[in-house]
Amino acid sequence: MPKSYFLPKNEPGKRKWLKNFSGKLPTYAPIVGVTAAEVAQETADDLFFDYVCNAHAAHTQTTRDWTAYKHQAAHGDNLGDIPVTPAPGTPPPTVPPDIFGRATALAVRIKKHPNCTDAIAQDLGIIGAEVVVDPTTYQPVLTLSLNAGHPHIGWPKLGMDSLELWKDCGDGKGFVLLTFTTSTDYADPSPLPAPGVSAVWKYKAVYRLNDAQVGQWSDVATIGVMG
């Protein structure tokens, strides 16, 4: 089953991940080939990023307080005390930039180490959560283009075995089965109309998995052809 990327997307998630990773790294470092200097760097990175985030949060709150104070001064009836920015405290030593680039590169290296077990990777937080995929909701998205006058049908495979492709030539027969294809850029080999004659061809498709239809039918895609 596919897994999501292990690093969270939002800042609170990143902070929590880095704290767990840097905090547990000393336990596993000798096992997975991480040096003492790298462990120290991750610890320093965590401390510095915590400081930066806390200082930023304090500054943001002070900005909100001043905005409210300004509004009261201009239009309010209770001015109150002038906002005060809290002291950020003594900053830890500055670290090189790209804290998370450095951490994720180390995490990827650890995952590839022969001594890195699933249990270690899980504890360090360097394995993403399993992504539940429901193929019954899949719907092909067809993209049509012309090459030497013939339609080419593109579609994303999404782990499916093949595509069941149907076509309406505008001859009154409606949609009929055109092909089963594994090519994600299928070239329709059907004869073009007579020279000088145009036609509108329509296509629709459904995914196939284990020799059976899966998911939803695509929207109908239309293209004009000329003989």
pLDDT digits (tens, 9 = 90+) for 41-64: 999 999 999 999 999 999 999 999
78: confidence class by pLDDT, cuts 50, 70, 90: confident
> What pTM value is reported for the model?
0.59
Band of the pLDDT at 132, cuts 50, 70, 90?
Answer: low
Q: pLDDT tens-digit profile of 186-223?
A: 999 999 999 999 999 999 999 998 899 999 999 999 99
Q: Which of 51, 22, 16 is nearest to 39 (CA)?
A: 22
Q: Which of 50, 40, 41, 60 is nearest to 17 (CA)?
A: 50
CATH superfamily of this structure's domain 135-226: Immunoglobulins (2.60.40.10)
